[in-house]
Structure 1
Amino acid sequence: MRAVTVTPGNPKSLRCAADWPEPATDEGAVLVEALAVGICGTDHEIIAGHYGEAPPGVKDLVLGHESLGRVLEDPSGTLQPGDLVAGIVRHPDPVPCPNCAVGEWDMCRNGRYTEHGIKALPGFARDRWRVQPQFAVGLDPALARVGMLLEPTSVVAKAWDHIERIGNRAEWQPQTVLVTGAGPIGLLAALLAVQRGLAVHVLDRATSGPKPDLVRALGATYHAVPVNELDFEPDVVVECTGAPVVVLDVMCKAGINGIVCLTGVSSGGRKIDFDAGSLNRALVLENNVVFGSVNANRRHWDMAAEALARADRSWLESLITRRVPVGAYAEAYTPQPDDIKVVLDFAA
């Protein structure tokens, strides 16, 4: 069968194997036929050789962590043949740590977790794949064209879950949300904010292309100005760029009792002249909270599936700016200026 693979650490190793072996039964009882795989920045970084880890005893890593497929068989009876499904990316570490032991593998304490298509588990960019039933998430059949968005939606579902948990430390009546970055994570974070009935503002550098229209189609407000030029102080900020200047600016911009959730991963090495004392004073005197959020556990995946089922299908489809057949896999993994979400189509 076909599989898109890399040799981790080798930036010129991307290929599509035509004779990849069928998934071993020890990968899981649920056998799934791949429909599509979403592509994100993590894939590009693995292809560039920055990180990635093949399964033990194997040289190559199958890419793909944003999955969508149809169940072929599930002897456990948890799912039925034909069910639409996505595979959870992260699996708990084998020790397990206290968090992994209770199903909170997104909060793993010792770093020994594994991840499909990223770290020590084969990914979903292959014609067929397997997972254990507890790592298979059923989807509404109406999501057959957009279900690969479940993985990035799970990331922001976790972010919102933790925002609300922190907010409930006291009487909390948030009104205004600022999302920085209008990529897939930012747009999906805005979607979940709109579903919560909040006034949503999205900030991005783009002044043309699909991003402004996608934000407005949600009923949100689009801004293409620096954070410090905004004329409001948000109750909640979901930061999705990882740009150091933006990260610092939103920490300073949040209102009293504000909550800033950082989801973007910054690259190191850049130094900024910054008044840390003033930021500390503001955070303390205004009871503000800044926290980081990454990955998701099963509860968040289920929350994400519910959020996508409630969303407007045409808006979700508009996030997918390119659908590329597997035969043109190299094109799919080559970024284009107006890309939002690119999908590798196994069903084409």
Structure 2
Amino acid sequence: MRAVTVSPGREGSVALSELPEPSPGPDDLLVDGLAVGVCGTDREIVSGAYGWAPPGRDRLVLGHESLGRVRQAPAGSGFTPGDLVAGVVRRPDPVPCGACAHGQFDMCRNGRYTERGIKQADGYGAEVWTVPVPYAVRVDPRLSRAGVLMEPTSVVAKAWEQVERVGARAWFEPRRVLVTGAGPIGLLAALLGSRRGLDVHVLDRVTDGPKPKLVADLGAEYHTGDVDDVLAAVRPDIVIEATGVGRLVFSAIEGTAPYGIVCLTGVSPAGRRLTVDAGSVNREIVLENDAVVGSVNANLDHYRQAAEALAGADAAWLERIVSRRVPLERLAEAFTPRPDDIKTVITLDGSGSAP
């Protein structure tokens, strides 16, 4: 079988490799890969800045945003051949820490977790892969082209769960949410905000292309102005920050309504300096009972929430988030961003590059 592999720590090492097909264990699904999504983490790994190969190996199979079709399933597993599935990314550490022992491996305390396609475990970027039944999530059959969004939706589902848990400190009835960034995470965050009946606003730099229409079709409002002006006009109760841009992060912290919650999902690059009035930020958080929370990765509950959210969404709208499909033979193209990209996907089943 063919697989997308990389030697972590070596820039330019991404390659299409021939590997033996995996043999499923007694509790595994055998899955024919359909597609794998490409995100910033994948690009970091390809650039040599991130990633760890499995123990004893120098190459890693990439891909953590998965979609496949079950070829073989254990009896009594609840899965049958032909089912669409996605695989969970993170696995609990073997010790385990208290969080992993309670199924909250997204909150691992000792860092000994593994992650498919990222940290010490092969990913889903292969024509065939296996996954233990407990870590397989059924994808609605309507989503044969958009089901690859399961993993990023799980990340967003966790972010919303964190916001609502923090909000439950006291009476909490939010009305307005501002999402900063209209990439896949931002658009999916807006989708889940609209499903909650909130007044959704999305801020991005892009003024044309598919993003404004995608936001409008959710019944949300798209903004391209200065973040401080947008915050003053919207006065959001919640901000889902999906860019990692330092100025947006600190503006969001200062720009929410009282008892505001800012959830940070974007990862900021290191080494960029920003002058911040730390005293003003502190006063804002303390005097208005604001909260700032970081959120990354997802556990099984979040994948289930994601599956439910995607199953209830407009499949055609979701498909528009996937702006570029790259066939496996041209995989290198997928790691070079284009100005009009939203979500780039590598197709694993020979379905071609048409969006």
Q: What interval of TM-score do these two structures reach, taking the shorter chain for normalisation? A: over 0.9
2:219 maps to 1:219 = yes
Would the alpha carbon gap of residues 39 and 28 (structure 1) be closer, same or farther in structure 2, given more than 3 Å must change? Answer: farther
Code of the residue aligned with 1:194 in structure 2: it is S
Deviation at 1:24, TM superposition (A): 4.1
Partner of 1:243: 245
Partner of 2:137: 137
Partner of 1:163: 163
Partner of 1:9: 9
2:56 maps to 1:57 = yes
Code of the residue aligned with 1:303 in structure 2: it is Q
2:34 maps to 1:39 = no
**Kept in 1: contact 2:27–2:74 (CA 8 A):** no
Would the alpha carbon gap of residues 318 and 27 (structure 1) be closer, same or farther in structure 2, given more than 3 Å must change? Answer: farther
SS in 2 for 1:228: helix
- Aligned-partner Cα distance in 1 for 2:103–2:69: 25
2:249 maps to 1:210 = no
Aligned with residue 257 of structure 1, among 246, 259, 281:
259
Partner of 1:114: 114
The gaps in structure 1 that reach 5 residues or longer are none
Code of the residue aligned with 2:132 in structure 1: it is Q
Q: CA RMSD in A?
A: 1.1
- Aligned-partner Cα distance in 1 for 2:128–2:26: 12
SS in 2 for 1:75: coil
SS in 2 for 1:208: coil
Code of the residue aligned with 1:82 in structure 2: it is G
Deviation at 1:128, TM superposition (A): 0.6
Could you report, residue by residue, the CA deviation over 1:233-282 in whole angstroms, capped at 9, with x for unpaired residues? 10000000000111001001011011100000011112222111111111
Q: Percent identity?
A: 58
**Kept in 2: contact 1:28–1:130 (CA 8 A):** no
Partner of 2:98: 98
Code of the residue aligned with 2:46 in structure 1: it is I
Deviation at 1:77, TM superposition (A): 2.5
What TM-score does the superposition give when structure 1 sets the normalisation length? 0.98
Deviation at 1:27, TM superposition (A): 10
Deviation at 1:57, TM superposition (A): 1.0
Instruction: Please give the residue correspondences for 1:285-296 in structure 2 after superposition, counting only pairs within 5 Å.
Output: 285-296=287-298
Code of the residue aligned with 1:34 in structure 2: it is G
Deviation at 1:28, TM superposition (A): 5.8
- Aligned-partner Cα distance in 1 for 2:65–2:41: 11
Partner of 1:277: 279
Could you report, residue by residue, the CA deviation over 1:152-186 in whole angstroms, capped at 9, with x for unpaired residues? 00000000011111111111110000000000000
**Kept in 2: contact 1:76–1:133 (CA 8 A):** no
**Kept in 2: contact 1:27–1:130 (CA 8 A):** no
Would the alpha carbon gap of residues 306 and 136 (structure 1) be closer, same or farther in structure 2, given more than 3 Å must change? Answer: same
Partner of 2:190: 190
The runs of 4+ residues in structure 1 deviating greater than 4 Å are none
- Aligned-partner Cα distance in 1 for 2:40–2:20: 27
**Kept in 1: contact 2:26–2:74 (CA 8 A):** no
**Kept in 2: contact 1:27–1:131 (CA 8 A):** no
SS in 2 for 1:69: strand
**Kept in 2: contact 1:71–1:85 (CA 8 A):** yes
SS in 1 for 2:148: helix
Deviation at 1:333, TM superposition (A): 2.1
Could you report, residue by residue, the CA deviation over 1:318-341 in whole angstroms, capped at 9, with x for unpaired residues? 101111111111122221110001
Instruction: Please give the residue correspondences for 1:72-87 in structure 2 after superposition, counting only pairs within 5 Å.
Output: 72-78=71-77, 79-87=79-87
Partner of 1:299: 301
Instruction: Please give the residue correspondences for 1:14-29 in structure 2 after superposition, counting only pairs within 5 Å.
Output: 14-17=14-17, 19-25=18-24, 29=28
The gaps in structure 2 that reach 5 residues or longer are none
What TM-score does the superposition give when structure 2 sets the normalisation length? 0.96
**Kept in 2: contact 1:94–1:112 (CA 8 A):** yes
SS in 2 for 1:99: helix
**Kept in 1: contact 2:158–2:295 (CA 8 A):** yes
